[in-house]
A and B are shown apart, each in its own frame.
Chain A
Amino acid sequence: MLNYSQTLTEQISVQDLQMKEVKPIMKLIVRGKKREFISAVGKSLNILLPTESNTSTQSDKLTAVWLSPDEWMIYSNEPVDENTNNYETEELLNNNISKLNLGAITDVTDQFVMINLKGNKIYELFQAGSPFNFNNFQNKKGAVTQTILNKIDIIVHNQDKNLVNLFVRRSFSQHLFSWMNDAASRL
């Protein structure tokens, strides 16, 4: 990512809970309703968009996250090249989706900040500020939810046991991160 200024420079480690920003991660929002759209994305990226609500799918390089019946977020599993703003995935989708009027692709790499959380107190932290019931969610690998944490919109992706990726809008990220630091210190 060209000229990327990191919003969260510190890494927080409190009571068996580690939180840090992972950057630069490519993030794309893909939207479309037609059946051809889902198959075109599948063919282009070799990844099936999840059609079941609150789930995700994963390939070697990418993760597709269900956001709504006609909206998904695709993000890269590994940080991408810092020296460019062009992504092969985006270009591929632009050619195979946007230009054929099957759906829309939006680059939200700069819009969302990805925070990686590790440890066994993740959900205790979420419970401190979210109305969402995480009881079933935390045992379901690959589960996804959009909800509120400390009144801020977030996307939570349960990658594995005690390993969660959290996406938050960039302008809210510092505030959320400092709240998480504070809340974690009180667990």
Chain B
Amino acid sequence: MFIINCPFCGERDQSEFKAGGEAHIIRPKQPTELSDDEWAEYLFMRKNIKGVQFERWNHIHGCRKWFNVVRNTSNDEIKAVYKMGEKPPSY
């Protein structure tokens, strides 16, 4: 259990949030031109890092807004929280 600092509401318990997977995955502009392998790569393959990972989270039981979290997956330490569309910090 850990606390996430929602960029809109402030510090809240993790149970108010929903994890939305890896962040900054860009949808291919022309999906019809991709091979099945390339499409599967975009759709299913995730890095699943042990360490610092960039993730999307949704404050589902609060303001219902999406935002990004930089989290260390091995100890749940949250390094940074930033809004959608903002430049990711470097880690």
Contacts and interface: CB of A to CB of B under 8 A. Distances in A.
B81 to A, nearest CB: 14
Interface in B3-21: 8-13, 15-16
Given A53-B9, A68-B8, A148 B65 contact: no
B16 A148 contact: yes
A67 B63 contact: yes
A67 B10 CA distance: 13
A153 B10 contact: no
Interface residues of B, number: 13
B63 A146 contact: yes
A34 B16 CA distance: 28
Interface residues of A, number: 14
Interface string A56-76: 000000000001110100000
19 contacts: A53-B8, A53-B63, A67-B63, A68-B8, A68-B62, A68-B64, A68-B65, A71-B64, A131-B12, A131-B16, A132-B12, A132-B13, A133-B11, A146-B9, A146-B62, A146-B63, A147-B12, A147-B61, A148-B15
Interface of A: 53-54, 67-69, 71, 131-133, 145-148, 153
Q: Please list the 10 inter-chain residue pairs (A to B) with the smallest Cβ-Cβ separation, ordered nearest first.
A: A131-B13, A68-B63, A146-B62, A148-B61, A131-B15, A153-B61, A69-B8, A53-B9, A53-B8, A68-B65
